[in-house]
Structure 1
Amino acid sequence: MEAEIMVCGGAPRRAYGLTANMVYMKALSSCGRISVSDDHGRWKMETMPTPRVMSDMIILPNGDILIINGASRGTAGWDNARSPVTRPVIYRPNMRRYNRFSIMKASSRPRLYHSSAILMTDGRVLVGGSNPQENYNFTGVEFPTDLSLEAFYPPFLARKHKHLKPTVLSMDEILIYKKSFSATFTVPRFLRMGTVSIRIIAPSFTTHSFSMNQRMVVLKGVVVVAVSANTYKFTAFGPSTKEIAPPGYYLLFVVHAGIPSSGMWVKIQDST
């Protein structure tokens, strides 16, 4: 088992203090990945297309990482940032180096301090908020308080992928550690058995650019068999240990050829 953590962006040293003089330093554009399951793990560094501070990072069901919200100058804090970054970036960890970042369509709203993002069951990402002012201030400032919500649609939700999208028909709602479970799903055009994976994602609590508890686990022992035309059944095993997936509720996705189903809520526990 390999467990990785990824950290991107931020502000350089001295950035916070300089904002008192209305000096807004350029944010960091570096990204680092490290395997925490490797006793000799080392940071592997890459560079984002744009510098970014106060971003939110969301694990998508297909394993890609969404980097959204934030600014390219300044730092976190009351009215401490300038140059909002409105174009999200998707990082694809399994692509070749230097081809992993893709820039997405821009939002019309700057989202700075106190913005947030969270994965929804249908694969969209709910994005909302921005309050860089010390009080709720809706007028007369460069970046007013914004209470709006919007949804980001990852590329896998495009219509051209509809024929590859699985739909879960029935499944076990309780997953037991190391025990097998099964579910049936349909897909209009099934490619091959090796293109199916089962993934669980812990719902995160996102605040101040940190998504507490966020993790994705790819389950082991997946076997897929055809049941009827366009209908299939998979069998997989629950997580191996509580360290890998602590007890609680998760969203489970069936991913086929990189295209995820809608998420189904499941509960992971010791026994029934």
Structure 2
Amino acid sequence: MFESLLESLTLGSCLLVALAFSQADSVKGQNIDNCPNAGSTYTSRNKVGFNVCRQTDYGVDNLQSVSQATLNACIEWCSTTPGCIYGVYDPVAKMCNSKGSPYTPNWKSDPSFDSFVMTSAGLDAPATKTKNGRWSDVIQLQVIPVAAYMVPQFPSVTKFLAFSSWSPSTFGGAAQYQTAFQSYDITSNTQSSFMVSNTMHDMFCPGINSLADGRLMIDGGNTDAATTIYDPASNTFSRAADMKMGRGYQASVTLSDGRGFTIGGSYTGGIGGQNGVPMKDGEVYDPSSNQWTALPGAQVAPMLTTYDNAGAWRTDNHAWLWAWSSGSVLQAGPSKNMNWYTTSGSGGVTAAGTRNAANDQMCGVNVMYTTGKIFGAGGSQSYSDAPGLKAAHTITINGVNQNPTVQQLPDMWYGRMYANAVVLPNGQVFISGGQTYGKGFSDTNSVLQAEIWDPKTNKFTLVGASSVPRNYHSVSLLMPDGRVMSGGGGLCYVNGGCNDANHQDMQFYTPPYLFDSNGNAAVRPQVTTLRSSQQNGNQIRVSPGGTLTVTLNSVSGLTHALVRLGSVTHSINSDQRRIPLTVVRTIGSTVTLRVPSDNGIVPPGFYYYFAVASSGSHSLGLTVNVLKG
């Protein structure tokens, strides 16, 4: 009887143990929305708050890992580490892991780990602002901003324009020759929408660039050969001469002589050429005569990407175009092969070496962060349905028709396709949005967390995360106060069923250096007066080689730069470049600055002037018009 009882107890114990293991297995790895235990809060020594949940894990990749003795020590480390918002501690291995700020944290029960995340108050803590910067609340807009443009104005810019397609929130269907626009006033935070129909032009997916006099040229897109000119002085839109061939997804740029150059663009207007090979060679627009001229020698074939999973029509899209001396243009991407284009006569093309032997970088980002130096990163081999790349490079111009010098940089923290990049007044580059696996009109695999590349250290630093995905059809622009506008994404095909990826909104990002140690606005250099050698009333105009004279509250430790006002669509902003200025003399609190003498270095058009302190804090941007020499 005793043996029978013992056998029963043993069997029962085994069943209980088996049941316990079975329950543990069912809990471990289970996705959760709330902490399954009581949870707790922790405030770090620098007063950053975190929510803590033991025996849970975030099932995403580690971005940084360091050894820490305790969970509390791990959280303290996270509170001082840029970009650490979500974290996981392994108490057995005593390993502290930053998860960054993932779009989908994939929170799971797991008795092997303890997880923590910064609270809303922690995100707004002074110590967080000074390392991660700060995103504003989401601001609803009246169109999905597929393209955007800073509107020139003296003495400083107060608004930008944004536009979508024939509708504020969709595209496609029967042809409708109009475009939905809106204006946003950044001083009053007010907006108004309007429809442009007088030019009979659906401007969706065009080339876009600012001309020397500040007018915006919008060429091609859905109405594939049309050109529309927006004049900020009169706030009017007019139809200009049609291009020689229809184009969409092309890139356009303002040349050193004030003309506009465009190339590629097989999204609309047919592929051209023979046997499905794109042959949309370059052409130039002369604003003085309102005339386009074909450049048969500026052949598109050398700049095609090597392969796209959707076909040849995707291989001539969104060229990285950089105007340089004597009407030349460096095509620095997205194809792995670079080329110089000449725009005189019938045009020409000269091979300029290879940027990245491993792959093309379609839908990557590029920006001139200082004179003759271009930052390029991300993108993918194909236009859609392909992995986003982490690869980054600098491309240094060595002269027209000379091969640039290419330097491979450390990888970005995230692979990004459909991202945007903005050069900041201090020369750093802010990269935001995109997907680790690119798929148009989708938010899957989104990257919310931004990063900043510093050319002084060649390092990428993780910073704050936006609230909304910014992927295909998103934009970003530098504001005159140094914030970055990041908005849009989506604009689904009519009845396309992808409305969840439509983002008719924006946020402003404030970089870390614009906060002081208390989390308040940092002290900025103050400009008392700004004058120029070709000044016209209150309009600061300067010729190449001319001077700017600036009086400030103090000139100690300052550098000075011009940053060209941006116009952006489809991750391309050919207008964007930053040009440091040379100090000629300093008398008291007044400094005289020399503008470069070559319109190739400083193309004609409108710029912000910034005085930049060693901390990165800078003056409010004042408008300068660089004239055509």
Greater RCO, CA 8 A, separation 6+: 1
Is 1:186 equivalent to 2:548 in the alignment?
A: no
Which position in structure 2 is the counterpart of 1:145? 502
Match of 1:238 among 587, 595, 599: 595
Structure 2: distance between partners of 1:52 and 1:214? 20
Structure 2: distance between partners of 1:136 and 1:67? 32
CA change 1:217–1:9 in 2 (3 A) is: same
Match of 1:114 among 473, 476, 479: 473
CA RMSD of aligned residues (A): 2.4
Q: Secondary structure at the match of 2:513?
A: helix
Q: CA deviation at 1:224?
A: 3.0
Which position in structure 2 is the counterpart of 1:11? 380
Structure 2: distance between partners of 1:214 and 1:163? 25
Gaps of 5+ in 2: 1-369, 532-539
Contact 2:485 2:507 in 1 (8 A): yes
Amino acid in the other structure paired with 1:117: S
Structure 2: distance between partners of 1:168 and 1:57? 27
Is 1:82 equivalent to 2:82 in the alignment?
A: no
CA change 1:36–1:93 in 2 (3 A) is: same
Contact 1:60 1:66 in 2 (8 A): yes
Structure 1: distance between partners of 2:425 and 2:481? 10
Deviations 1:82-109 (A, max 9, x none): 21100111000111x4xx1111111111
Structure 2: distance between partners of 1:2 and 1:238? 12
Q: CA deviation at 1:225?
A: 3.2
Contact 1:132 1:143 in 2 (8 A): no
Q: CA deviation at 1:222?
A: 4.3
Which position in structure 2 is the counterpart of 1:229? none
Structure 2: distance between partners of 1:111 and 1:270? 36
Higher mean C-alpha deviation, range 4-13 or range 82-91: 4-13
Amino acid in the other structure paired with 2:553: T
CA change 1:2–1:115 in 2 (3 A) is: closer
Is 1:127 equivalent to 2:486 in the alignment?
A: yes
CA change 1:222–1:89 in 2 (3 A) is: farther
Which position in structure 2 is the counterpart of 1:62? 426
Structure 1: distance between partners of 2:515 and 2:471? 28
Is 1:94 equivalent to 2:456 in the alignment?
A: yes
How do residues 46-57 of structure 1 correspond to structure 2 at under 5 angstroms? 46=409, 47-57=411-421
Contact 1:112 1:132 in 2 (8 A): no
Is 1:32 equivalent to 2:379 in the alignment?
A: no
Match of 1:262 among 620, 623, 627: 620
Q: Secondary structure at the match of 2:381?
A: coil
Deviations 1:131-182 (A, max 9, x none): 1632387xx7584311112100011211249665201111121222212231
CA change 1:44–1:266 in 2 (3 A) is: same
Q: CA deviation at 1:5?
A: 1.1
Amino acid in the other structure paired with 1:41: P
Compute the TM-score of the two structures, normalised by the length of structure 2: 0.37
Is 1:209 equivalent to 2:571 in the alignment?
A: yes
Which position in structure 1 is the counterpart of 2:525? 166
Contact 1:174 1:266 in 2 (8 A): yes
Q: Secondary structure at the match of 1:259?
A: coil
Contact 1:198 1:253 in 2 (8 A): yes
Higher mean C-alpha deviation, range 259-268 or range 217-226: 217-226
Which position in structure 2 is the counterpart of 1:247? 604
Contact 2:474 2:486 in 1 (8 A): yes
Q: CA deviation at 1:61?
A: 0.4
Deviations 1:32-53 (A, max 9, x none): 1110126453321121011110
Structure 1: distance between partners of 2:425 and 2:472? 26
Q: Secondary structure at the match of 2:449?
A: coil
Structure 1: distance between partners of 2:421 and 2:462? 14
Structure 2: distance between partners of 1:62 and 1:33? 17
Q: CA deviation at 1:269?
A: 1.7
CA change 1:210–1:220 in 2 (3 A) is: same
> What percentage of aligned pairs have identical amino acids?
26
Q: Secondary structure at the match of 2:448?
A: coil
Contact 2:583 2:591 in 1 (8 A): no
Question: Which structure's CA Rg is the greater one?
Answer: 2
Contact 2:433 2:470 in 1 (8 A): yes
Structure 2: distance between partners of 1:136 and 1:184? 57
Contact 1:2 1:37 in 2 (8 A): no
Amino acid in the other structure paired with 1:197: T
CA change 1:222–1:82 in 2 (3 A) is: farther
